[in-house]
C-alpha cells in the first residue's frame, strides 16, 4: 500500500541524507550499471485521473493508495497522487490505439493512421468497433516534463478530448512578433500549463475531466536547466529514443486511462 502525496507534485531526487563527499562519490558513478537500458526497459510515467472505479481508491484492491481520492491526479509509474500539477508540453501526438474488448488488453498502436478507425462501427456505448472485434480508441497524447524536468505522458481520449482540444487551442493561438521575421508560433514548450480536474455530469453519470489553465512561459521561469530538459525531450521523441508503450495508455476499454467515462462521447480530433 502506498501513501498519497497531497498537493503539488514533488521532485523525485533527494539529496537530504548525503554529505558533500558522499554526493561527490555518487556523482562519480552517475548512471553506472544502466548503460544497456533502452526504450523498452522503462515505463514512461503516465498521469491519469482517479475515478470512482479506479483501483487506487478501493481498499479491496492491491493497487489501493492510502488517502487517494476520486478526482486527484495519479502518476501511474510512481503511485504519487496530487491535486494539481504544472507541466510543460514538449510534443503532441495522436495515437489510434487498438484494444481487445472486455478489458482484453492492448493490441497495437496505429499512430496517426486512421485506416482501421474508418472501418469501425460505433456501438451503443460509443466505442469504435472494428470488424475484427477489437476497439479503436483515438487518443490525444501530450508528452510533457514537470518543473523538475521529469518526463511524463498524458493520454486523453473519449470524454477527455474536449479539454485536450482546449489545451491545443491555447498552444496554437500563442504568437510572438520577431522584429525582422514577423509573427510566428513558438514551440509547444514555450509555455507551462496548470493541470487540475473538474467534475462533469451528463445527468445519469458524473466523472472528472482535465482542467487546463495557462501558466508562465518557460522564458519567464528563467531556468536554463528546464529549457534544456524540454528541448532534449522533444529531440528524444523526434529521434525515437523514447516512445510510448502499452503501459503508457492504460486500459482504455475499462475507462481507467486519463479518467474516461464509460458513457458515449462523440468527440473526435
pLDDT digits (tens, 9 = 90+) for 193-219: 999 999 998 878 899 999 999 999 999
Q: Tell me if 199 is assigned to some domain.
A: yes
Confirm whether 108 is domain-assigned.
yes
> Which of 225, 234, 194, 192 shows the shortest CA–CA distance to 211?
194
Which residues does the chain have with pLDDT short of 50?
Answer: 1-3, 6-12, 252-269
Please check whether residue 18 lies inside any domain of the structure.
Answer: no
In a domain, 92, yes or no: yes
Residue 9: what pLDDT? 43
Residue 240 in domain: yes
Give me the domain span that covers residue 243: 39-254
Q: How far apart are CA 74 and CA 210, in angstroms?
A: 12
Q: Domain count for the chain, please give it.
A: 1
88 is a domain residue: yes
Is residue 22 included in any domain, yes or no?
no
The pTM of this model reads 0.80
**Cα–Cα distance, 146 to 144 (Å, whole number):** 7
Residue 152, in any domain of the structure = yes
Amino acid at each position: 500500500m502506498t501513501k498519497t502525496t497531497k498537493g503539488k507534485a514533488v521532485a523525485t531526487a533527494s539529496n537530504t541524507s548525503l554529505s558533500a563527499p558522499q554526493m561527490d562519490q555518487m556523482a562519480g558513478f552517475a548512471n553506472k550499471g544502466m548503460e544497456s537500458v533502452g526504450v523498452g526497459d522503462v515505463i514512461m510515467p503516465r498521469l491519469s485521473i482517479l475515478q470512482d472505479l479506479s483501483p487506487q481508491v478501493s481498499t479491496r484492491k492491491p493497487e489501493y493508495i492510502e488517502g487517494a481520492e476520486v478526482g486527484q491526479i495519479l502518476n501511474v509509474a510512481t503511485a504519487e497522487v496530487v491535486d494539481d500539477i504544472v507541466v510543460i508540453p514538449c510534443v503532441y501526438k495522436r495515437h489510434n490505439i487498438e484494444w481487445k474488448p472486455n478489458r482484453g488488453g492492448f493490441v497495437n498502436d496505429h499512430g496517426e493512421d486512421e485506416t482501421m478507425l474508418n472501418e469501425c462501427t460505433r456501438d451503443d456505448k460509443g466505442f469504435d468497433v472494428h470488424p475484427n472485434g477489437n476497439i479503436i480508441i483515438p487518443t490525444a497524447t501530450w508528452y510533457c516534463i514537470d518543473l523538475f524536468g521529469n518526463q511524463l505522458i498524458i493520454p486523453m481520449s473519449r470524454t477527455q478530448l474536449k479539454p485536450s482540444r482546449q489545451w491545443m487551442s491555447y498552444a496554437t493561438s500563442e504568437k510572438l512578433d520577431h522584429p525582422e521575421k514577423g509573427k510566428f508560433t513558438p514551440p509547444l514548450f514555450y509555455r507551462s500549463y496548470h493541470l487540475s480536474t473538474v467534475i462533469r455530469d451528463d445527468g445519469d453519470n458524473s466523472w472528472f475531466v482535465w482542467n487546463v489553465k495557462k501558466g508562465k512561459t518557460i522564458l519567464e521561469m528563467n531556468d536554463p536547466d528546464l529549457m534544456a530538459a524540454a528541448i532534449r525531450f522533444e529531440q528524444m521523441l523526434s529521434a525515437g529514443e523514447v516512445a510510448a508503450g502499452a503501459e503508457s495508455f492504460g486500459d482504455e476499454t475499462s475507462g481507467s486511462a486519463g479518467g474516461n467515462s464509460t458513457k458515449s462521447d462523440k468527440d473526435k480530433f
